[in-house]
Structure formats: structure tokens, C-alpha cells
């Protein structure tokens, strides 16, 4: 495995430029955008041989002549003939909002947002680290490179390195930026819930992460009611520039400059996630949509006195106004609630913030009146 050769940036920029030129000729559109993404992943699972994979894909968006709609297609790989074929047959190409296409902006000819954490891969070190802790079931590291060619032929380049591990008797996923072993814990504690759970309920960061992600989608996307009441502990910011964030960057996936925005504070909703600077793609196959990048929850560092601390949680949305929270343990416990009650019950936070596998950077959170059974 030649990790360095497979993650080189310049060949991808050349590929993206050639794809952009082909797309301009095929579409004859006034504005064309190319988004190319490559991901290199290495995975080790206990009891199995290691595996590595190299994946790449390309998305193209172009503006219709009426300038009111934007068509979107995607292909696996970077083959120009394949892209041309898909574009020529895309009579009913999925459309996205025209405002998400960066047209007529005075962007620099080239922008880079390169990973600041360790991007080197030392397989021997990773094997040794995993061997020291039998609670680690699997380990995966990956480096993604994204190339964006905009309507005026400007180039945006971003790289991100991420590593994750599945740990514990009740499996939980932990994740962070960077690939090296420096900073990784020597051992993971096998957290489980025993005894009776009492109020208030305190979720450690790993348990709070999925709750934070679900509540942000429920209250800060789409139609947002500014000024609505929330719990005093619900102090959230969308921060694509966070150095700890698993996602985000200095520019979004459509090329617009990204910046930090406060979503909720002081017990009230302040803003939603919408417009330039918030356009992100879940996959290269998707057109960019207004989505959260890295959600950062304010930390008060108060102690959860008298609370039962929970280390793992899963959010199961049965309906828009009916959620179930699952707390794995012996035994597994559940609580049925709704997102409105849950966000208003968020009273305070405790402890230092931590990066979670759900992409949120959050301290522990305390919820009043949420009683698992």
C-alpha cells in the first residue's frame, strides 16, 4: 500500500480541471461546478486481516439557461466519458436551489484548507495500540481529499484525516481528527449502566453526541422559530472552523466562505442553519444542502450532583414528535419523549467538551425529568 502516492493532491486537481472543461462543453451552461472527492481508508478488525480501500467520485452541477435551477449528476470515479454520458442522458437531472451555486463571486483563484493533524499512516503502531486493549473491536483511519472547481474556474482544495474505533462490551464508536496514535488512550473503560437510574439524567459526551445531533436537525434546520424557548443548557453553535471538528472547513461544499454562527443561547433559539456558508454534502452523490458542520455545545463545567451519569445513548425517532432514547447496559433501558420536551429539559452542562462520533463537540449534558425505565 503506497499511502503517500494514493493521497497526492495535484493529480486530483488535474483530473478535476479536465472534468470541468468537459462538463462546460457538454452542458453549454453559463455556470458549471465540479466536486471531486477521494477517500483512502485502512481498517483493522480483531481476528481478521486488515483491509484498505480507495474510493473516488465526482459530482457536477450546472445552471440552466433560465438561471433559475441547477441540475446535478454524479458518477463513481473520474472518467470524463462517463461524466459526459451521464450529463447527456440527464433530461430529468435532480435539481438543487440556484442560490447554492457560487456564481459571480470574487473568490481567489485557489484556496486550500489542509488537515493540520497527523496524516501519516504507521500500520505497525496502530496494530500495537489495538493489541494493548482487548476492548477495541475494530479500528479505522481515513484521509479524504475534496477538490471543488467553481463557476469562474477557481479551485478549492480541502483534506481531512479521521480515525475511529469500536470499543466496549456494549459497542460504542469513538472518533477524532488525525491518524497517529499520539493522544489515543492506552485503555478504554468498559462503561455500563447498573443500578437504578434517577433524576436528573446526566449524559456523558459520548451519550450526549447523538442527542445533540438529533436536536439540531429538529430545531435548527428548515423552518426555525427564532426566540422559541429551550433549556438553559442548550447553548449551541455551528462552527465549521473548529480545529476538533470531524467536518467543516473555511469554505463550504459549494465554495462559499464558512463562519461560526450561534444557534441558541440564554434559553432561546437565535438562528437556523441556512444559506451560503452552510451548504454541505453528505456524499459526493448529493447536491449540497444547508446542513450543520461541527456543532459545539457550551461548557459550564458544573458538577452533576445527585445525577446518574450515562455513557451511551441511541436516539430512535419513531415519529416527528415521538422519540425513544435507548441506554445500552445491563439491562438496557429506554425513555419515550419528544424533541420539544427534550430540548427544554436540557438544564446544564458539566465537564470538559469532547469530540463525539456524531460530529458534535460537547460536554456532558443534564436533563431534568428524563427518567429511563
User: CB–CB of 236/294 below 8 Å?
Assistant: no
Number of helices (H) and strands (E) in the chain: give both, helices first: 6, 21
What are the sequence ranges of the domains in the chain?
Answer: 3-177, 201-367
Distance CA 355, CA 183 (A): 13
User: CB–CB of 325/310 below 8 Å?
Assistant: no
Per-residue confidence (pLDDT) for residue 171, from 0 to 100: 80
Per-residue confidence (pLDDT) for residue 145, from 0 to 100: 96
Per-residue confidence (pLDDT) for residue 246, from 0 to 100: 94
Averages of pLDDT over each 10 residues, the chain, 373 residues: 74 96 94 96 91 94 80 95 94 73 89 92 88 90 96 95 87 88 67 51 92 96 90 96 94 96 96 95 93 93 66 92 89 90 93 92 90 69
Per-residue confidence (pLDDT) for residue 223, from 0 to 100: 83
Grid cell for residue 279: 451548504
Q: Which of 233, 239, 315 is nearest to 266 (CA)?
A: 233
Per-residue confidence (pLDDT) for residue 242, from 0 to 100: 95
CATH, domain range 3-177: 3.30.2290.10
Distance CA 351, CA 299 (A): 7
Per-residue confidence (pLDDT) for residue 69, from 0 to 100: 81
H/E stretch holding 113: strand 110-113
Q: Which of 371, 369, 368, 361 is nearest to 212 (CA)?
A: 361
Q: What is the pTM of this model?
A: 0.90
Distance CA 97, CA 323 (A): 31
Grid cell for residue 242: 473548529
Alpha helices in the chain (DSSP H): 3-6, 10-27, 80-89, 123-131, 205-219, 339-344
Per-residue confidence (pLDDT) for residue 365, from 0 to 100: 93
Per-residue confidence (pLDDT) for residue 1, from 0 to 100: 55
Per-residue confidence (pLDDT) for residue 310, from 0 to 100: 84
Q: What is the DSSP string of 135-196?
A: TEEEEEEEEEEEEEE-TTS-EEEEEEEEEEEEETTTTEEEEEE-SSSTT--S--------S-
Amino acid at each position: 500500500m503506497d499511502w503517500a502516492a494514493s493521497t497526492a493532491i495535484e493529480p486530483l486537481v488535474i483530473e478535476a480541471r479536465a472534468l470541468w472543461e468537459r462538463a462546460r462543453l457538454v452542458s453549454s451552461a453559463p455556470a458549471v461546478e465540479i466536486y471531486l472527492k477521494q477517500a483512502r481508508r485502512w481498517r483493522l478488525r480483531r481476528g481478521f486481516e486488515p483491509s484498505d480501500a480507495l474510493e473516488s467520485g465526482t459530482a457536477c452541477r450546472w445552471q440552466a439557461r433560465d438561471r433559475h435551477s441547477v441540475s446535478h449528476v454524479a458518477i463513481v470515479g473520474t472518467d470524463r466519458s462517463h461524466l459526459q454520458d451521464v450529463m447527456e442522458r440527464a433530461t430529468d437531472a435532480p435539481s438543487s436551489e440556484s442560490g447554492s451555486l457560487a456564481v459571480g463571486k470574487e473568490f481567489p483563484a485557489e484556496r486550500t484548507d489542509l488537515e493540520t493533524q497527523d496524516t501519516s499512516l504507521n500500520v505497525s503502531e496502530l496494530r500495537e495500540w489495538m493489541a494493548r486493549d482487548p476492548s477495541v473491536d475494530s479500528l479505522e483511519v481515513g484521509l479524504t481529499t475534496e477538490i471543488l472547481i467553481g463557476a469562474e474556474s477557481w479551485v478549492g482544495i480541502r483534506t481531512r484525516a479521521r480515525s475511529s474505533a469500536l470499543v466496549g462490551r456494549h459497542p460504542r464508536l469513538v472518533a477524532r481528527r488525525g491518524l497517529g496514535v499520539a493522544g489515543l488512550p492506552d485503555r478504554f473503560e468498559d462503561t455500563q449502566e447498573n443500578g437504578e437510574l434517577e433524576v436528573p439524567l446526566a449524559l456523558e459526551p459520548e451519550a450526549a453526541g447523538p442527542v445533540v445531533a438529533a436536536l439540531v436537525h429538529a430545531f435548527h434546520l428548515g423552518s426555525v422559530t427564532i426566540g422559541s424557548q429551550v433549556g438553559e443548557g442548550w447553548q449551541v453553535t455551528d462552527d465549521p472552523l473548529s480545529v476538533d471538528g470531524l467536518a467543516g472547513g473555511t469554505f463550504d461544499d459549494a465554495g462559499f466562505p464558512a463562519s461560526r454562527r450561534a444557534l441558541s443561547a440564554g434559553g432561546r433559539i437565535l438562528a437556523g442553519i441556512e444559506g451560503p456558508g452552510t451548504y454541505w454534502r453528505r456524499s459526493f452523490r448529493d447536491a449540497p444542502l444547508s446542513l450543520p458542520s461541527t456543532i459545539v455545545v457550551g461548557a459550564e463545567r458544573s458538577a452533576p450532583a445527585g445525577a446518574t451519569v450515562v455513557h451511551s445513548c441511541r436516539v430512535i425517532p419513531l415519529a416527528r414528535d415521538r422519540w425513544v432514547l435507548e441506554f445500552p447496559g445491563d439491562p438496557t433501558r429506554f425513555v419515550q419523549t419528544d424533541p420539544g420536551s427534550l430540548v427544554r429539559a436540557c438544564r446544564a452542562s458539566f465537564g470538559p467538551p469532547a469530540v463525539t462520533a456524531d460530529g458534535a463537540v460537547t460536554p456532558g449534558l443534564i436533563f431534568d425529568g428524563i427518567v429511563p425505565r
